[in-house]
């Protein structure tokens, strides 16, 4: 591509709205332009990279045996009413009516549509298993779009849906997809990590997320050092320590703690470590009443785990302060399990503390020297807290460290949740109707562009891995309007590289060297060839890898350049 015919809208100044580096660089390098909140246009250079990533995804999905199709982004409400999600989905699903006043939505996902098509055309076990995928625009009306294309409302997603006669076959395909994802993320040149995940509203059993590791990531990951365990903190389980609780050594004392409401305040005020404090959170119960959740002072509630507890209402709802006052007769800052008027479920760690400090269920007072089983009932225990850095890995191998990640892909074993709801069935070998097992596998294609940039940039701009660069190499001729030798050398090299099938850009805009180099670095071209009279005098081109500290001189031949590119 000749840059004289390929507009680059690069800017020196960083747009004010961009917070994260990938968003800033994508705007500065002219990859995207914002149209509205969470809506972005991909300019030609940005689209080249987006298309390359999509191509890698497509290749690996095909290699893994999945079949590409394309479903509409506009979907009729009937299908969503059938699965029950028309009511379940919140405002993130954009709904509207057509001219006949029929309800539609912009598809946030395609489980309903694929089930609809599958049940039309698939009647026999002989036709299974199948795995369909598409690369299609999705729309989710996020409450707060942010970070450019990292969390936008409209985005490009690869979504795949597989159907199976048995759970075992679903598991086989799940592992097949997992391998395909590992290949895809490896080819992107990204440092990534598959982690155990919560399957969220989509439901289903087994689920893993593929995260691109980056400090700006929105997700927190618990990764075992010295082990293999890795999970999204939302999904990371915690276990009882295995060592029995220490024996009680103190007796209960009531202590005046005026105005000391938080664990930190009480801990400081009474000079006890946070780990010696037990806090009681009050949430709505599954039976409509209230339930107390006991956590160690230094631990945080994991709302997803708590919501899954049979005694707790889902979704998790904290009790209103008025209701707490009514039931306990005190403010939320002074709650504890002693003489507690509601059922209590304790996190494993909280149940292991002896001689602890807790609220006295009386304003401005706490109790010290409290022990489970003696001063209050031995509680029901469960895994309710967020895993913490330094915790032992749940699988017993290694110690947990936190990383931040950007969710680039997610694979699920859905089971029969959607096939059942959508009345999908096929006949097995005995002629009996069977509800197929279903898996779904997503990759956020647009998000990956930003995620890879988060990992690959420097002060001058983006640094693309070869596989997804908009151009692999850029030729910068210096003074080509004055020097016929430079111009000829650049043209010859350009044509030779094109002939060799290399994605090459020739900067024939006649700009000064400084601005050529700045553009080439900002847009992230991985290889640069500079051609000038000085070098040509010695029959040399200058070659610089984007990531390299220094440029080097190579022979002024197309063959020498091709050799560098294949190295």
Partner RNA sequence: CGGGGUGUAGCUCAGCUUGGUAGAGCGCUUGCUUCGGGAGCAAGAGGUCGCAGGUUCGAAUCCUGUCACCCCGACCA
User: Binding residues for RNA, per CB under 7 A?
Assistant: 10-13, 15-17, 19, 28, 34, 36-38, 90, 92, 108-109, 138, 140, 142-147, 157, 159, 200-203, 218, 303, 315, 410, 442, 444, 460, 478-479, 481-482, 512-515, 517-519, 521-522, 530-532, 534-535, 542, 544, 551
* Least distance between RNA and beta carbon 406 (Å): 12
* Least distance between RNA and beta carbon 228 (Å): 25
84 Ramachandran zone, left/alpha/beta (phi>0; psi -120 to 50): left
**Residue 118 vs 147, nearer CB to RNA:** 147
Cα distances from 563 to residues 17, 74, 404, in angstroms, run: 42, 49, 38
Please give the structure tokens belonging to residue 313. 């209402």
**Residue 376 vs 453, nearer CB to RNA:** 453
Quote the strand ranges of 484-559, DSSP E: 504-506, 527-531, 540-545, 552-555
Q: What SS3 state is found at 91?
A: coil
**Residue 375 vs 507, nearer CB to RNA:** 507
* Least distance between RNA and beta carbon 138 (Å): 7
d(CA 328, CA 60) in angstroms, rounded, equals 59
**Residue 138 vs 457, nearer CB to RNA:** 138
**Residue 62 vs 515, nearer CB to RNA:** 515
**Residue 46 vs 535, nearer CB to RNA:** 535
* Least distance between RNA and beta carbon 199 (Å): 8
Nearest 5°: the CA angle 315, 319, 322 is 150
Cα distances from 543 to residues 400, 477, 557, 562, in angstroms, run: 44, 12, 12, 11
d(CA 221, CA 209) in angstroms, rounded, equals 10
* Least distance between RNA and beta carbon 11 (Å): 5
Please give the structure tokens belonging to residue 561. 């350049």
Nearest 5°: the CA angle 230, 231, 234 is 160
* Least distance between RNA and beta carbon 134 (Å): 13
Residue for token digits 């598409």?
134
**Residue 371 vs 413, nearer CB to RNA:** 413
Residue 347 pairs in a beta bridge with: 382
Q: Is the C-alpha dihedral spanning 203, 205, 211, 216 positive or negative?
A: positive
* Least distance between RNA and beta carbon 489 (Å): 11
Q: H-helix or E-strand containing 279? A: strand 278-284
């Amino acid at each position: 591509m000749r840059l004289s015919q390929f507009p680059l809208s690069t800017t020196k100044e960083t747009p004010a709205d961009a917070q994260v580096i990938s968003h800033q660089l994508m705007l500065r390098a002219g990859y995207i332009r914002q149209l509205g909140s969470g809506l972005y246009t991909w300019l030609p250079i940005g689209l080249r990279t987006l298309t390359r990533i999509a191509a890698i995804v497509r290749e690996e999905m095909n290699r893994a045996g999945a079949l590409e199709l394309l479903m509409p982004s506009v979907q009729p409400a009937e299908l969503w009413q059938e699965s029950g999600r028309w009511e379940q989905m919140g405002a993130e699903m954009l709904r509207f009516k057509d001219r006949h006043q029929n309800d539609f939505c912009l598809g946030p996902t395609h489980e309903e549509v694929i089930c609809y098509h599958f049940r039309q055309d698939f009647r026999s076990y002989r036709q299974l298993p199948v795995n369909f995928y598409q690369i299609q625009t999705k729309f989710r009306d996020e409450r707060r779009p942010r970070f450019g294309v990292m969390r936008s409302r409209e985005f490009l997603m690869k979504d795949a849906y597989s159907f199976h006669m048995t759970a075992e076959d679903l598991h086989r395909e799940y592992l097949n997809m997992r391998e395909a994802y590992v290949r895809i993320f490896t080819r992107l040149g990204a440092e990534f990590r598959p982690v155990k995940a919560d399957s969220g509203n989509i439901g289903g059993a087994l689920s893993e997320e593929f995260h691109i590791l980056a400090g700006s990531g929105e997700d927190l990951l618990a990764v075992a050092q010295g082990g293999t365990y890795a999970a999204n903190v939302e999904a990371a389980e915690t276990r009882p320590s295995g060592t029995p609780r220490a024996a009680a050594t103190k007796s209960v004392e009531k202590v005046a703690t005026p105005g000391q409401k938080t664990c930190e305040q009480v801990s400081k005020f009474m000079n006890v470590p946070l780990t010696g404090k037990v806090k009681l959170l009050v949430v709505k119960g599954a039976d409509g009443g209230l339930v107390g959740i006991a956590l160690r002072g230094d631990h945080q509630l994991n709302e997803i785990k708590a919501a899954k507890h049979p005694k707790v209402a889902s979704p998790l709802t904290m009790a209103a302060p008025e209701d707490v006052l009514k039931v306990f007769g005190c403010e939320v800052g002074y709650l504890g399990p002693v003489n507690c008027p509601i059922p209590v479920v304790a996190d494993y760690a909280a149940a292991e503390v002896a001689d602890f400090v807790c609220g006295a269920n009386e304003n401005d007072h706490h109790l010290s020297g409290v022990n489970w089983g003696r001063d209050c009932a031995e509680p029901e225990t469960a895994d309710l807290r967020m895993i913490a850095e330094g915790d032992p890995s749940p699988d017993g191998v290694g110690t947990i460290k936190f990383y931040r990640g950007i969710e680039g892909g997610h694979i699920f074993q859905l089971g029969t949740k959607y096939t059942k709801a959508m009345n999908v069935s096929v006949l097995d070998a005995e002629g009996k109707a069977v509800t197929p097992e279903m898996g779904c596998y997503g990759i956020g294609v647009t998000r990956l562009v930003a995620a890879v940039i988060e990992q690959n940039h420097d002060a001058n701009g983006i640094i693309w891995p070869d596989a997804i660069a908009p151009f692999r190499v850029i030729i910068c001729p210096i003074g080509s309007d004055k020097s016929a030798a430079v111009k000829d050398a650049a043209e010859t090299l350009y044509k030779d590289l094109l002939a060799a099938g290399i994605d090459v850009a020739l900067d024939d805009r006649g700009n000064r060297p400084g601005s050529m180099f700045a553009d080439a670095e900002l847009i992230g071209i991985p290889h640069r060839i500079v051609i000038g009279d000085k070098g040509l005098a010695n029959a040399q081109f200058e070659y610089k890898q984007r990531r390299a500290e220094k440029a080097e001189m190579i022979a002024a031949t197309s063959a020498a350049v091709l050799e560098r590119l294949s190295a």
